[in-house]
Structure 1
């Protein structure tokens, strides 16, 4: 997952209001919707590859509206800790919480986020804004993220993985972009020339959400899943069904036959570095790494990397896992600051603001941006596949104890990639442990018979 390092406690005076919007030439071409004059407010956010684009967009908001915003910027874990402390205090320090998909459920279930209609009943989510598997909603009665619930947040950064592949190598070999896993495997094997180049480089290391996050597109793309139907409150564990076994067998096989020899120890940064140095023909990582590919200071493959929707098996659709960020308004802050936070979200979701966000390196949350002519420009060649993939993105976890399940997956998948256990043993063990977690917390759960 991106955004796990950075400086702590940057304020508005340090990072906002420096005239960056004017210097970038963003203000002149746009006519933004009028925004109300509101009180100053504070946003707590993580330092990440996409933060700078968000900062520049906040600068533009300040210039266009005259409203003041303070950014409190922290490492990934530090941002979560500050949010937890603030929302549990009698009076919150932070007005707008930039929440990762990994802790959105905790904030919703805990009642820490104010439903938007409680601040302004007239507010409507722009119909072009992706709801990201309905994670912007929460149905408190059913304890699920579903469109039947209340609008709780507005998307900030819609991060999912894409397939990155070497277009120049494809052209030389007469290949076409893979749509299915069978095509990806064939292409990876054809371009596998170790040790100078690997057909595909995958993440296999154990971490907070490391190998599990990279395995999700395979699991869901083969028609599998961890649970039967979270949206309906059915947490029967289905990880160790035939689709799960097919997905894990594929992940292990392609790593062994067309992958890096140290897959089990690779972190995300190392996967990306293999592509940047020309040692990988394919990687499947979060879209926010796109800008590094054409950065001449970082990349040896400038203008050679193409992007595609993550593949799927025949008969199924792509299933990239969400690793996104949502903006929710804290319940325990004064009403005027709630209105200030909502005014920013109202402005942020507009087509004009989203296009400006894109131009400074952001990943837009509005489908209107992906229909805009900008998406046809060479620099933004990632936009078309991302726009195609976002409607299929999967919210992997809809319950606040997700970290317990993730830790089980991290260990089990890492052991399988390292060859310390078979795919069947790993799947059966992980499924049994996940069933135990869900039972312990009182969810409606069950389990399948162990794979033979």
Structure 2
């Protein structure tokens, strides 16, 4: 069994779907937040940002407390967080940390445990622990429920398969479960330039093409490392499963995909889907609301959702691209307490139901146990429920950004046709092994592919 897979605990599994308490029907006093000092959240601009902004505005309205949002591009947010937590006095109080760098904040001691700031804080039992990544044992350097509560989930993101349900209905097809089925259907609908069978992300960025490649790599049964949980960081990327995954990714792009895949980032992928130019894409669930937004979409009510495909005998394996909210250690105590108060409110069912109405992905399972799951606009909830138990926590060490940078360059070059899949995999594996050895991890590498 691939121990890099991080399965959610039973309370994390979505039972049923959505909750539908309209904003106007939130119970009086449901916020239960004390009056606290203003504080600042540093956050990235992303498809889910608007729903978070509206949720913060609701918090301000419900409680009278003030929050400042410092909004940045993905890389800019990381740079600001790194600079702030290393300063004598931090500028940002609540850090919205991506799956690719939260370990850096934990291991570096830059985030203070919520339970240390407020020993009376209680995590709602229905909040997803996302592979226990909200906890950290600073002594054993492991993410375990036996550790301290270090953060609150902000957005439990994973990718799903988005596909044109109207075209599938006309053709008498069912949602693809395997990669073979996806490829056959992508080829069937591929009719460029009017429509591409699938549109994939191939651009190099802070965490771009690598993130979109994970469900292919792990869905083929591959892995970057042998067994992170056991401390075995032997690099497995360039095994036969890795080659099958990358060859498949490249074949889809070249034979049933967009001719400029190597230059496409998330915004361009989404744009192709909402303009009716793509029959399929595999993107983060946070983009779901754009599909039915009449101001943005030409395919309103035509896009369906399914778990990411896989090969026979391997489960769906979406990579966790989640976001966690951690409180900086080097900020004044009154601002720490203010951030805790916001998180106390944010985790509640009422707040998360409202967030879902705004287009967010709820962090509280109670928000999924309401009849709105049967409503057409929340049709993504069922496949999300099926997928989350199989989500993969890709990185469990603080130097993940260095590995991600290697993957970004190698994968982009392969998609662009500058190097072969074999050259890309061998080069990336060599460089990743060098990084892990530099930091004294138990590592190694496979013989190069031929």
**Distance in 2, Cα, partners of 1:286 & 1:383:** 13
Matches within 5 A, 1:222-261: 222-261=220-259
Counterparts of 1:18-417 in structure 2 under 5 Å?
26-31=23-28, 32=30, 34-417=32-415
Give the stretch that moved more between structures: 255-264 or 215-224.
255-264
Q: In structure 1, what is the Cα distance between the partners aligned to 2:232 and 2:54?
A: 42
1:25 is displaced (CA, Å) by 6.8
Aligned equivalents of 2:201 and 2:332: distance in 1? Answer: 44
Partner of 2:429, secondary structure, is: helix
Aligned equivalents of 1:80 and 1:426: distance in 2?
Answer: 27
Provide the residue aligned with 1:443 in structure 2: 441
Distance 1:250 1:375 in 2: 34
Q: Which moves more between the two structures, 219-228 or 370-379?
A: 370-379
Q: Distance in 2 between matches of 1:187 and 1:431?
A: 32
> Residue 226 of structure 2 aligns to a residue in which SS?
strand
The question of whether the paired residues in 1 share the 8 Å contact of 2:81 and 2:95 is answered with yes
Paired with 1:412 and 1:245, the residues of 2 have a C-alpha distance of 13
Q: 1-side partners of 2:59 and 2:205: how far apart?
A: 36
Q: CA deviation at 1:323?
A: 2.0
In 1: Cα distance, 2:243 partner to 2:213 partner: 12
- Per the alignment, do residues 69 and 260 of structure 1 end up closer, same or farther by CA in structure 2, a change over 3 Å counting? closer
Per the TM alignment, residue 73 of structure 1 is displaced from its structure 2 partner at its CA by 2.7
Secondary structure of the 2:360 match is coil
Partner of 1:15: none
TM-score by length of 2: 0.90
**Aligned-residue offset at 1:29:** 3.7
Q: Do 1:412 and 1:426's aligned partners in 2 also have CA atoms closer than 8 Å?
A: yes
Aligned alpha-carbon RMSD (Å): 2.0
Distance, in Å, in 2 between the alignment partners of 1:361 and 1:36 is 27
- State the Cα distance separating 1:381 from its structure 2 match: 1.5
Shift of residue 176, structure 1, vs aligned partner: 0.3
Alpha-carbon separation, structure 1, partners of 2:60 and 2:259 = 50
1:54-112 Cα distance to aligned partner (Å, 9 max, x none): 22212222232233323233333332233222222222232211112222122111101
Q: Which has the larger displacement, 190-199 or 160-169? A: 190-199
Offset, 1:230? 1.8
Q: Distance in 2 between matches of 1:265 and 1:335?
A: 45
Using the alignment, how far apart are the partners of 2:350 and 2:285 within structure 1? 22
Alignment TM-score, normalising by the size of structure 1: 0.90
Three-state SS of the structure 1 residue aligned to 2:424 is helix
d(CA) in 1 for partners of 2:98, 2:126: 21
Once residues 413 and 48 of structure 1 are traced to their aligned partners in structure 2, the CA distance between those partners, rounded to angstroms, is: 22
Given that 2:22 and 2:354 are in contact with CA atoms closer than 8 Å, whether structure 1 keeps it comes out as no
Tell me the distance in 1 between the aligned counterparts of 2:72 and 2:203: 24
Residue 15 of structure 2: aligned partner = none
Which segment drifts farther, 323-332 or 204-213? 204-213
Q: How far apart, CA to CA, are the structure 2 residues paired with 1:389 and 1:418?
A: 30
- C-alpha distance in structure 1 between counterparts of 2:367 and 2:340, whole Å: 21
Deviation at 1:299, TM superposition (A): 1.8
Alignment: residue pair count: 429
Deviation of the 1:38 alpha carbon? 2.9
Unaligned runs of 5+ in 2: 1-20
- Matches of 1:268 and 1:292 in 2, distance apart? 13
